[in-house]
C-alpha cells in the first residue's frame, strides 16, 4: 500500500509535467506553422498556469514547539521506549496540537498535547514505542503527498472558472490517494493503550469548537486552555487518580505554549481570561448583541410601554408562527442582558455543556414568572417593571457592547 501511494504521487507529478510539456511543444509547433490554432490553444494556458502554481506552492509548516531538556522525565520515557524497541533515540522531541505520536523523520518525534493530557505514562510509552518501531522509509514521502495533493485540490477549488475541467479529476484522484495513504500510514494501537484514541480526538474537536473558541466573538481567549481540556476530560472520560503523562513535563505552561501555535498572530494578541470569566463575558457579549437586535434602538422602558399597550408583534421575530412564544423568548434576552449589566445574573463554566446561568436574588423563578406575565395575552407588565427597578435596572436601559477587565 505504501508503494501504491508513492506510485500515485509520482504518476500525478508525471501527468502534470506531460500536460505542461505537451502544451508547450504543441504551441511551439503551431506557432512555427503559423497556424491560427495556436491562439485557440492559449485558452488552456491560464488553467495550466494555476495548476503549476498550486503544484509549486509551499505548504505552511505544521506548528510545533521543541521540548526543552528541562522535561527530564519525558525525555527519559522516550529514551527508555527507544531502548525497548532497539532503535536509536530521537534527538528532537516536539509538541503539536494533533492527537497522535508520530515520527516526522528518523530523528524527530512529535507528540500531540491532547494525548499528554489524556494518557497515563504507560500508555504514552506504548504509543512512543509503536511510533519508533514503524518503518519510516516511505512515510515522509507519503505524508508530503498528503499535504501536497490536499493543497493542490484546495487551490484549484478557489481558482477561476477556467480550471473547472481539472477540478473533478484532481478531487477524485486526491480522495483515492488519501485513502491509500491512510491505510499505508495506519498502525493499530498497542495493546497497552486501554483508551480509545478516536474518543480523545472527538473530545479535542469538541473542546476546540465549543470551549476554546467560546470568547472569540467577544475578543477573548482562555488564559489556561489545556487546563480546560483537562476538566472536559475529567467530566467525559474520568481517569480518577491515575497520573497523566503531562506530569512528565517541566510545567503545565508547556502545553499552553503548544496550544498557542494553533492561533493566528491576531488571536495571540487577544486578552486572556480564566474560564469562569471567559464564560461570563462571552455570554454577556452574545446576549447583549441579541438584545440590541430585539430592541432596535428602543430603551427597555419604551419596549415595556408598547407591550403594556398590547403591541406584542413589534417584539416578535419577523415571520414568527407563534407570536407570543417569540415575544417571550426575545423579551427574556433583553431582560437577561439588563440583569447581567446590573450584576444580578452571571455565567460560569460548566463541564461538559454550555456555560451555566447563575441567578442571584430574586431568583430564577421570580424572573420566569414576571416574563411569562409580560408576554401573555393580555400582557401584564407591572411585575416585570417592579422586579427590574428593585434590582437597579433603569427604564432607560439600552444594551451596550463592552468588555469588563480581564486577567
pLDDT at 403 over 60: no
* The pLDDT value given to residue 71: 82
Provide mean pLDDT across the span 313-339. 89
- Phi, psi at residue 324, to the nearest 5°? -60, -45
Most confident of 36-40, 45-49, 171-175: 171-175
Provide mean pLDDT across the span 244-268. 80
Of 250 and 269, more confident: 269
pLDDT at 77 over 90: yes
* The pLDDT value given to residue 304: 93
pLDDT confidence of 192, banded at 50, 70, 90? very low
Q: Which three cell numbers stand for residue 142?
A: 507519503
Provide mean pLDDT across the span 29-53. 59
* The pLDDT value given to residue 60: 53
Provide mean pLDDT across the span 276-305. 91
Q: How high is the mean pLDDT of the chain?
A: 80
* The pLDDT value given to residue 56: 63
| Cβ neighbours for 211, distance < 8 A, ≥ 6 positions apart | 222, 228, 229, 232
CA 126 – CA 225 distance, rounded (Å): 26
Provide mean pLDDT across the span 160-182. 74
Of the given ranges (171-175, 278-282, 371-375), which has the lowest mean pLDDT? 171-175
> SS in 3 state form for the chain?
CHHHHHHHHHHHHHHHHHHHHHHHHHHHHHHHCCCCHHHHHHHHHHHHHHHHHHHHCCCCCCCCEECCCCCHHHHHHHHHHHHHHCCCCCCEEEEECCCCEEEEECCEEEEEHHHHHHCCHHHHHHHHHHHHHCCCCCHHHHHHHHHHHHHHHHHHHCCCHHHCCHHHHHHHHHHHHHHHHHHHHCCCCCCCCCCCHHHHHHHHHHHHHHHHCCCCCCCCEECCHHHHHHHHHHHHCCCCCCCCHHHHCCCCHHHHHHHHCCCCHHHHCCCEECHHHHHHHHHHHHHHHHHHHHHCCCCHHHHHHHHHCCCCHHHCCCCCCCHHHHHHHHHHHHHHHHHHHCCCEEEECCCCCCCEEEECCCCHHHHHHHHHHHCCCCCCCHHHHHHHHHCCCCCCCCCCCCCCCCC
pLDDT at 161 over 90: no
Q: Which three cell numbers stand for residue 328?
A: 417571550
pLDDT confidence of 385, banded at 50, 70, 90? very high
Contacts 24+ apart (CB under 8 A), 88-94: 90/132, 92/66, 92/67, 93/66, 93/67, 94/64, 94/65, 94/66, 94/67
180 within 8 A of 4, measured Cβ to Cβ:
yes
* The pLDDT value given to residue 58: 59
Provide mean pLDDT across the span 47-54. 61
Strand 108-112 with 101-105, pairing? antiparallel
pLDDT confidence of 216, banded at 50, 70, 90? confident
Of 324 and 28, more confident: 324
**CA dihedral (279, 203, 63, 193) positive or negative:** positive
Provide mean pLDDT across the span 19-26. 67
Provide mean pLDDT across the span 212-232. 86
Percent of the chain at pLDDT > 90 equals 19
CA 256 – CA 263 distance, rounded (Å): 11
* The pLDDT value given to residue 51: 60
Q: Which of 313, 327, 315, 341 is nearest to 372 (CA)?
A: 327
Provide mean pLDDT across the span 302-317. 88
CA 41 – CA 301 distance, rounded (Å): 71
| pLDDT tens figures, 128-151 | 888 887 755 677 777 777 777 777
Provide mean pLDDT across the span 33-46. 58
| pLDDT tens figures, 317-327 | 888 888 889 99
Of the given ranges (66-80, 96-110, 301-315, 368-382), which has the lowest mean pLDDT? 96-110
Strand 92-96 with 65-66, pairing? antiparallel
* The pLDDT value given to residue 191: 46
Measured from the Cβ of residue 346, the count of other Cβ atoms closer than 10 Å reads: 20
* The pLDDT value given to residue 405: 46
* The pLDDT value given to residue 240: 72
Provide mean pLDDT across the span 373-379. 88
Of the given ranges (58-62, 220-224, 326-330, 395-399), which has the lowest mean pLDDT? 58-62
pTM as predicted: 0.69
pLDDT confidence of 300, banded at 50, 70, 90? very high
Cell 500500500 belongs to 1
* The pLDDT value given to residue 329: 93
Amino acid at each position: 500500500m505504501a508503494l501504491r501511494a508513492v506510485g500515485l504521487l509520482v504518476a500525478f507529478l508525471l501527468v502534470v509535467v506531460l500536460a505542461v510539456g505537451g502544451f508547450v511543444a504543441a504551441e511551439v509547433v503551431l506557432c512555427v506553422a503559423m497556424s491560427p490554432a495556436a491562439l485557440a490553444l492559449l485558452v488552456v494556458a491560464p488553467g495550466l498556469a494555476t495548476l503549476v502554481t498550486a503544484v509549486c506552492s509551499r505548504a505552511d509548516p505544521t506548528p510545533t514547539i521543541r521540548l526543552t531538556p528541562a522535561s527530564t522525565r519525558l525525555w527519559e520515557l522516550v529514551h527508555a521506549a527507544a531502548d525497548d524497541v532497539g532503535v536509536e533515540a530521537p534527538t528532537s522531541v516536539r509538541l503539536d496540537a494533533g492527537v497522535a505520536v508520530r515520527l516526522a523523520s528518523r530523528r524527530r518525534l512529535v507528540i500531540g498535547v491532547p494525548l499528554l493530557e489524556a494518557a497515563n505514562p504507560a500508555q504514552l510509552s506504548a504509543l512512543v514505542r509503536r511510533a519508533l518501531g514503524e518503518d519510516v522509509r516511505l512515510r515522509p514521502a507519503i505524508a508530503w503527498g498528503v499535504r501536497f495533493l490536499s493543497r493542490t485540490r484546495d487551490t484549484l477549488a478557489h481558482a477561476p472558472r477556467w480550471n473547472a475541467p481539472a477540478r473533478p479529476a484532481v478531487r477524485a484522484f486526491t480522495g483515492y490517494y488519501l485513502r491509500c495513504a491512510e491505510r499505508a500510514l495506519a498502525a493499530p494501537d498497542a495493546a497497552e493503550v486501554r483508551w480509545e484514541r478516536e474518543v480523545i480526538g472527538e473530545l479535542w474537536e469538541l473542546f476546540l469548537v465549543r470551549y476554546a473558541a467560546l470568547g472569540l466573538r467577544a475578543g477573548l481567549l482562555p488564559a489556561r486552555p489545556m487546563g480546560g481540556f483537562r476538566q472536559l476530560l475529567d467530566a467525559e472520560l474520568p481517569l480518577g487518580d491515575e497520573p497523566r503523562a503531562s506530569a512528565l513535563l517541566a510545567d503545565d505552561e508547556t502545553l499552553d505554549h503548544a496550544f498557542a501555535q494553533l492561533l493566528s498572530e491576531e488571536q495571540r494578541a487577544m486578552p486572556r481570561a480564566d474560564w469562569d470569566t471567559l464564560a461570563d463575558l462571552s455570554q454577556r457579549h452574545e446576549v447583549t448583541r441579541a438584545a440590541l437586535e430585539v430592541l432596535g434602538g428602543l430603551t427597555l422602558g419604551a419596549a415595556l410601554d408598547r407591550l403594556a399597550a398590547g403591541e406584542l408583534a413589534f417584539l416578535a421575530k419577523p415571520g414568527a408562527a407563534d407570536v407570543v412564544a417569540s415575544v417571550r423568548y426575545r423579551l427574556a434576552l433583553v431582560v437577561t442582558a439588563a440583569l447581567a449589566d446590573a450584576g444580578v445574573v452571571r455565567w460560569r463554566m460548566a463541564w461538559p455543556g454550555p456555560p451555566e446561568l447563575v441567578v442571584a436574588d430574586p431568583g430564577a423563578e421570580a424572573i420566569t414568572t414576571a416574563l411569562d406575565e409580560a408576554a401573555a395575552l393580555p400582557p401584564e407588565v407591572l411585575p416585570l417593571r417592579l422586579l427590574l427597578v428593585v434590582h437597579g435596572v433603569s427604564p432607560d436601559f439600552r444594551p451596550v457592547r463592552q468588555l469588563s477587565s480581564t486577567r
